[in-house]
């Protein structure tokens, strides 16, 4: 049926352009890559200019309130564009659309939106477009059915880095988090489908593969695959041609010694670990429903450092979670000093609808802002010291793009995920090169290209 519809509308799609705006995490970025593949398969071509696009899509995030408010503003800005050209199709997808509250705002207040679909309906996008073209009426498709475990097709952002979903959803139910509501319960893809997908990507020339999941450490726990995440990671690491493997995200309660061993024993598994701490206070962690103590967290962080010398650790920290006292906050600062993070994603708590924490009394914003600034004042000097340790070293860097400020400078990442600036010809984008580090800031390191 879909092929018949494609043939019917073949002339319609000729010359049409699309634009996608993505909010949120790497899983959302990968979903946008899948959407891009579907649109180009129909005949659309990409444009970075939203006003030139015939199909405009927002792939949404609900984890932080800021992303939600930004979406409403950007959708509203298209009202005039839609009025001037009613044939433009505007679509909203992603995590926000999986929740009735946010979806209701789009439905009730934004008539300019033509197509609405959720995180589990990406594969149906072509059919949704055909339905809209047939009826010229708004199309809404929000499914709660299990995701099909198919070989995923998508347009990767570049031809040397690729994402591979290994699981979707989450069963942890942290009291501040909307993910179980927006992406559903935890589902693991079949291991051999994942391995086949990675093999295909390597054959296509991709150098760096990132395995994605809300909590990769619990991969396979609910399935009958007899495959744990360390076992899956070890199998992927053995695929010929895989130069770099990353994964995200990890829950501290499920970080096993076996996983640490796999990272240590495989050179192509990057020496970088994102381990969300969220708070250094046990009372706050309990309120968050995190299922570990700060003592357990520090033990796991120390184990990573002991077994994998030079590993870089990053984290997530929420400041101002309901009930957080000054004493609790001081414990977060103390934990940061003990670990010595290389980088961190820091957030001021914002209540999300349908979460337990949304029922808790919030802390005064002035107190939260003060604590947030003090956290940054604690972290940034550590980041600087960690980066300064690289001066004089020769490191392998996968060059990713031109610098936004200077086209003669390329940016890339070490296997420890350090952002590197180096003067190099743009022909080297996508290559792993050696760079001698000569300078640093709290957020970047820079150096000179070493003759290969």
Residue numbers belonging to the annotated binding site for [4Fe-4S] cluster: 25, 61, 95, 170, 174, 177
Please give the annotated binding residues, written as ranges. Answer: 25, 61, 95, 170, 174, 177
Q: At what angle do helices 125-135 and 26-42 cross, to 10 degrees?
A: 50
CA distance 142 to 99: 9
Using CA of residue 443, residue 95, residue 153, residue 53, what is the dihedral sign?
A: negative
Closest CA to 24 of 81, 68, 83, 73: 68
- Is the distance from CB of 59 to CB of 97 less than 8 angstroms? no
Coil, strand or helix: which one is 431? coil
Q: What angle do CA 9, 14, 15 make, to 5 degrees?
A: 145
Residue at token pair 């970025």: 29
Q: Concatenated DSSP letters for 253-305?
A: GG--HHHHHHHHH-TTB-SEEE---B-S-HHHHHHHT----HHHHHHHHHHHH
Element (H, E) at 113: none
The one-character DSSP state at 362 is: P
Render the burial of 98-122: b for 16+ CB within 10 Å, e for the rest: bbeebbebbbeebebbbbbbbbbbb
CA distance 353 to 337: 33
Coil, strand or helix: which one is 191? helix
CA distance 280 to 282: 7
Within 78-237, residue ranges assigned H as helices are 79-84, 100-109, 125-135, 179-183, 191-203, 229-237
Render the burial of 24-57: b for 16+ CB within 10 Å, e for the rest: bbebbbbbbbbbbbbbeebbbeebeebeebbbbb
């Amino acid at each position: 049926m879909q092929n018949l519809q494609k043939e019917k509308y073949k002339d319609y799609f000729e010359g049409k352009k699309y634009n996608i705006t993505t909010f949120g995490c790497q899983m959302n970025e990968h979903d946008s890559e899948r959407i891009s593949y579907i649109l180009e398969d129909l005949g659309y071509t990409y444009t970075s200019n939203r006003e030139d696009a015939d199909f405009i899509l927002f792939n949404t995030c609900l984890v932080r309130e800021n992303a939600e408010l930004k979406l409403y503003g950007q959708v509203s800005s298209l009202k005039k564009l839609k009025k001037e050209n009613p044939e433009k199709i505007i679509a909203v997808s992603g995590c926000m659309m999986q929740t009735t509250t946010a979806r209701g705002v789009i439905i009730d207040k934004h008539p300019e939106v033509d197509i609405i679909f959720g995180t589990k309906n990406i594969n149906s996008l072509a059919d949704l477009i055909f339905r809209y073209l047939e009826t010229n009426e708004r199309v809404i498709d929000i499914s709660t059915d299990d995701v099909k475990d198919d070989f995923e097709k998508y347009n990767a952002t570049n031809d040397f880095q690729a994402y591979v979903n290994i699981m979707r959803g989450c069963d942890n139910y942290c009291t501040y988090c909307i993910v179980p509501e927006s992406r559903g319960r935890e589902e693991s893809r079949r291991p051999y489908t994942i391995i086949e997908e990675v093999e295909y990507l390597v054959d296509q020339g991709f150098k760096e593969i990132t395995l994605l999941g809300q909590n990769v450490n619990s991969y396979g726990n609910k399935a009958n695959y007899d495959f744990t995440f360390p076992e899956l990671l070890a199998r992927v690491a053995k695929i010929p041609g895989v130069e770099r493997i990353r994964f995200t995200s990890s829950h501290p309660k499920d970080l096993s010694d076996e996983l640490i061993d796999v990272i240590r024993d495989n050179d192509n598994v990057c020496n970088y670990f994102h381990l969300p701490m969220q708070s250094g206070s046990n009372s706050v962690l309990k309120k968050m429903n995190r299922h570990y103590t700060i003592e357990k967290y520090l033990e796991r962080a120390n184990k990573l450092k002991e077994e994998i010398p030079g590993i870089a650790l990053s984290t997530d920290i929420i400041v101002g979670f309901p009930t957080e006292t000054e004493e609790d906050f001081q414990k977060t600062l103390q934990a940061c000093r003990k670990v010595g993070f290389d980088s961190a994603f820091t957030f001021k708590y914002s209540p999300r609808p349908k979460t337990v924490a949304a029922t808790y009394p919030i802390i005064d914003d002035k107190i939260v802002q003060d604590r947030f600034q003090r956290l940054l004042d604690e972290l940034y000097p550590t980041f600087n010291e960690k980066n300064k340790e690289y001066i004089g070293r020769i490191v392998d860097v996968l060059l990713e793009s031109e610098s936004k400020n200077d086209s003669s400078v390329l940016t890339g990442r070490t296997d420890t995920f350090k952002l590197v600036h180096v003067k190099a010809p743009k022909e080297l984008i996508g290559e792993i090169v050696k760079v001698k580090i000569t300078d640093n800031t709290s957020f970047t390191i820079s150096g000179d290209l070493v003759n290969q």
